[in-house]
Structure 1
Amino acid sequence: MTGPIKRLPMLPAERALKVISGRWKAVILYHLFDGPRRLSALKSQVPTITQKVLIQQLREMEEHGLVSREIFAEIPSRVEYSATPLGLSLEPILLALCEWGQHHADELDEQDHLADCIIRPRQPQHAPAASGN
């Protein structure tokens, strides 16, 4: 590594916005909230993104601790991307941003021009209950 990551803003809200800014980061994270994905799976889930931009966004999120990359010692090698606990903690924030964006469009009477939110609240996934009560 060539030193610390680019200095992030000192104001916490500005720092948060800087870390999640990027046209595709929220969409990529949304797909990683469900579990690890290979690059090819992410590319097929976000077909309008170029592979170059996908890799760039993943690297930035990895640098900021939102995504981890695991390389499996197989032939051919396999790489999977996962949301880290820090990345997973963004799920309710991204949902709130999506809902606020919808509210904003409603207030300005522009809901006809808005795409649907892909980020939706999910049921928490629980570990299987131990049998034998």
Structure 2
Amino acid sequence: MKTMREKAVEIAKLMEDGKGKNVVLLNISELNSWTDYFVIVTVNSSTHWQGLFKDVKNYIKDNDLEIHLTNKKSPDGDDWNLIDLGPIVVHLMSESAREFYDLEKLWHAGEKIDYSAE
């Protein structure tokens, strides 16, 4: 059975395979009680977001995860889309939203994982 870290790594790789830009995987388990990993991804458009969301939905079917919540930060859904899988939260963000919210800086105390090496 896969660990949650292995699943987070696989999701990060899946986002990169789906042409997500600047994919970052953070272990924030020591910083809060509600999730363990953030996968932060820059997307190009709502169509790109939809494709990556579909990839996540396909992944969770075979990996004992479920979507607890999806949320859009803007009405048209192009800026920031969050997919809450419980222990893993995927952030699909436009470039401008990613720069504005700067989650990597906000959660700088988290461990940045080099998922390509795993």
- Same fold at TM > 0.5: no
Q: Which has the higher contact order (CA 8 A, sep 6+)?
A: 2
TM-score normalized with structure 1 length: 0.28
Report which of the two structures shows the higher radius of gyration computed on alpha carbons.
Answer: 1
